[in-house]
Amino acid sequence: MLVGKRIVLGVTGGIAAYKAVELCRRLVDAGAHVIPVMTEGAERFVGRATLSALASEPVQTSLWDEVDPIPHTRLGRSADLIVVAPATARLLSAYANGLSTDLLTNILLATRAPVVVCPAMHTEMWEHPAVRANVAALASRGVHIVEPESGRLAGGDIGTGRLAATESIVAAITAALAAGAASTAGELSGTHVVVSAGGTREPIDAVRVIANRSSGKQGYALAAEAALRGARVTLVSTVELPSPAGSEVRAVETAAEMLDALAELAPKADVVIMAAAVADFRPTTVAPGKLKKATGMPEIVLERTPDILAGLGANKPPTQVLVGFAAETSDLVANATSKLQAKNLDLIVANDVSAPGVGFQHETNAVTLLCADGSTIGVGLTDKKAVAKVVMDTVVKILMTKPRQ
Ligand code: PMT
């Protein structure tokens, strides 16, 4: 359950902060990708270097010192889970009351991932009605609370308030992840989702091609998310990436091969997502063998490739959700809207590929989802997995409005 999961580990300023180091190590050992976020108070109890050395990424503490201008939304959206251990009375109060005073509280407000909070403080504080009310408010909103244990506290006092044992926190994290997965797990079971990924390559001669910069990362993230939700997934792909568990890969190279694969697969699919960057032009003829420099400058005549997505839109079964992508460098919404309408799509995912960190090859993307019913959803710069989650949430909603097969 923990393997490959992105876990933000929030550490606040209590004596139990030193135990967050052990928690971090245990999560990393179990295969999680741990991103530590410390408050100013936490830094008085444990060194940045210690957590940075054990975690998967260096410690982050501030809203202001990253190249990324909005780290809280990036971290909040891309996390599979957020755990705060230890959580002080101040953190509980800020979180319960929606206060965004530092990076950690901003992340907590900017996430839809499951949150596990592990309070630790002196008994009198833990039993104070204000703290009890904040804990109750958080629990009523679905935050997982790992109650503190009874035992020796700082200064030699004995009582309830000691941070729960690391094993209990890891167990709560695993259970919260399992519950989160279960809530979307079956959403697409019984459906067939077809996703195209990568850039087509159109041959000029035996060795040269016209290509584009698509890495296939966004398409593979979509396929993985659909498979996680229980769909049977077929990836029509021009790239060799590890295939997501539960998906079958159909390897293609040219626009013509992609067209053939989709012509076969799409008519019976419940969802078709064209994330691939299909060449718009290809050489009219492919030179046999390798064109030789000595024979002079070749004249390459281009012709249009078939618009695969437009063809799918024209023949779309009424039960199907058809999704296109739009890679734009200007007039994002206007251009994407005309593709949405012209190609008879249910949804188009528009990315401005001229913006830093967006689109081709990056690990990240920023998109605007434009639905056929006129609704729009903006997703700021975040990793492609998080984009895939939002796209798939929207696909599931549209699928529910379609007549059943
Ligand atoms: O692969 P990555 O490196 O992760 O990058 C992701 C991405 C930038 C490739 C992806 O986010 C994206 O934008 N994919 C669509 C790229 C594209 O071809 O956009 P377009 O605006 O030119 O085409 C619009 C739609 O028509 C697309 O769904 C495309 O697949 C489809 N199309 C285009 C031309 C054509 N001949 N046939 C098509 O089906």
Q: Decide whether any atom of ligand 1 lies within 6 Å of the 194 Cβ.
A: no
**Mean pLDDT, range 252-273, rounded to an integer:** 98
How many A from CA of 154 to the centre of ligand 1? 58
Q: Which atom of ligand 1 is nearest to the CA of 309?
A: 39
Residue nearest to atom 23 of ligand 1 (CA): 326
Q: Which tens digits make up the pLDDT trace of 108-130?
A: 998 888 999 999 999 999 999 99
Q: Is the pLDDT of residue 263 over 70?
A: yes
Confidence of residue 70 (pLDDT cuts 50, 70, 90): low
Q: Decide whether any atom of ligand 1 lies within 6 Å of the 360 Cβ.
A: yes
Q: Decide whether any atom of ligand 1 lies within 6 Å of the 325 Cβ.
A: yes
CA distance to 162, 176, 334, 345, per residue, from 20 (Å): 13, 18, 48, 48
Are 6-185 and 192-401 equal in CATH topology? Answer: yes
Higher pLDDT, residue 53 or 77: 53
Q: Does domain 192-401 have CATH number 3.30.70.1890?
A: no
Residue nearest to atom 5 of ligand 1 (CA): 360
Residue nearest to atom 36 of ligand 1 (CA): 307
How many other CB atoms are found less than 10 A from the CB of residue 103?
Answer: 24
On whether the CB atoms of residues 239 and 195 are closer than 8 A, the answer is no
Q: Decide whether any atom of ligand 1 lies within 6 Å of the 313 Cβ.
A: no
- For the chain, which residues make up each domain, given as ranges? 6-185, 192-401
pLDDT at 147: 96
How many A from CA of 80 to the centre of ligand 1? 27
On whether the CB atoms of residues 367 and 379 are closer than 8 A, the answer is yes
Q: Which tens digits make up the pLDDT trace of 228-244?
A: 999 999 999 999 999 98
Q: Which tens digits make up the pLDDT trace of 21-53?
A: 999 999 999 988 899 999 999 999 999 999 999
Q: Decide whether any atom of ligand 1 lies within 6 Å of the 311 Cβ.
A: no
Q: Decide whether any atom of ligand 1 lies within 6 Å of the 138 Cβ.
A: no
Q: Decide whether any atom of ligand 1 lies within 6 Å of the 281 Cβ.
A: no
pLDDT at 68: 62
Pick the CATH number of 6-185 from 3.40.50.300, 3.40.50.11810, 3.40.1080.10, 3.40.50.1950: 3.40.50.1950
How many A from CA of 307 to the centre of ligand 1? 11
**Mean pLDDT, range 73-79, rounded to an integer:** 79
Q: Is the pLDDT of residue 286 over 60?
A: yes
Q: Which tens digits make up the pLDDT trace of 158-187?
A: 889 999 999 999 999 999 998 877 778 788
Residue nearest to atom 21 of ligand 1 (CA): 326
Confidence of residue 67 (pLDDT cuts 50, 70, 90): low
On whether the CB atoms of residues 274 and 292 are closer than 8 A, the answer is no
For a pLDDT cut of 90, what percent of the chain falls above it?
81
pLDDT at 327: 98
Neighbouring residues of 31: CB distance < 8 A, sequence distance ≥ 6: 2, 3, 4, 5
pLDDT at 2: 86
Q: Is the pLDDT of residue 78 over 80?
A: no
Q: Decide whether any atom of ligand 1 lies within 6 Å of the 308 Cβ.
A: yes
pLDDT at 156: 81
Neighbouring residues of 228: CB distance < 8 A, sequence distance ≥ 6: 181, 184, 185, 246
Pocket test for ligand 1, best of 194, 202, 210, 214 (most atoms within 8 A of CB): 214
> Cα–chain-centroid distance for residue 305?
32
**What pTM, to 2 d.p., does this model score?**
0.73
Confidence of residue 107 (pLDDT cuts 50, 70, 90): very high
pLDDT at 69: 60
Q: Decide whether any atom of ligand 1 lies within 6 Å of the 309 Cβ.
A: yes
How many other CB atoms are found less than 10 A from the CB of residue 268?
Answer: 12
Confidence of residue 154 (pLDDT cuts 50, 70, 90): confident
Q: What string of H, E and C letters represents the secondary structure of the chain? A: CCCCCEEEEEECCCCCHHHHHHHHHHHHHCCCEEEEEECCCHHHCCCHHHHHHHCCCCCECCCCCCCCCCHHHHHHHHCCEEEEEEECHHHHHHHHCCCCCCHHHHHHHCCCCCEEEEECCCHHHHHCHHHHHHHHHHHHCCCEECCCEEEECHHHCEEEEECCCHHHHHHHHHHHHHHHHHHHHCCCCCCEEEEEECECCEECCCCCEECCCCCCHHHHHHHHHHHHCCCEEEEEECCCCCCCCCEEEEECCCHHHHHHHHHHHHHHCCEEEECCECCCEEECCCCCCCCCHHHCCCCCCEEECCCHHHHHHHCCCCCCEEEEEEEECCCHHHHHHHHHHHCCCCEEEEEECCCCCCCCCCCEEEEEEEECCCCEEEEEEEEHHHHHHHHHHHHHHHHHHCCCC
Q: Is the pLDDT of residue 359 over 60?
A: yes
Pocket test for ligand 1, best of 273, 278, 344 (most atoms within 8 A of CB): 278
On whether the CB atoms of residues 8 and 107 are closer than 8 A, the answer is yes
Q: Decide whether any atom of ligand 1 lies within 6 Å of the 361 Cβ.
A: yes
Q: Which atom of ligand 1 is nearest to the CA of 335?
A: 21
Alpha-carbon distance 336 to 349, whole Å?
A: 8
Joined together, the tokens standing for residue 186 give: 């079956």
How many A from CA of 300 to the centre of ligand 1? 24
**Mean pLDDT, range 301-316, rounded to an integer:** 98
How many other CB atoms are found less than 10 A from the CB of residue 315?
Answer: 12
How many A from CA of 197 to the centre of ligand 1? 9
**Mean pLDDT, range 255-280, rounded to an integer:** 98
Q: Which residues are known to be catalytic? A: 212
pLDDT at 85: 98
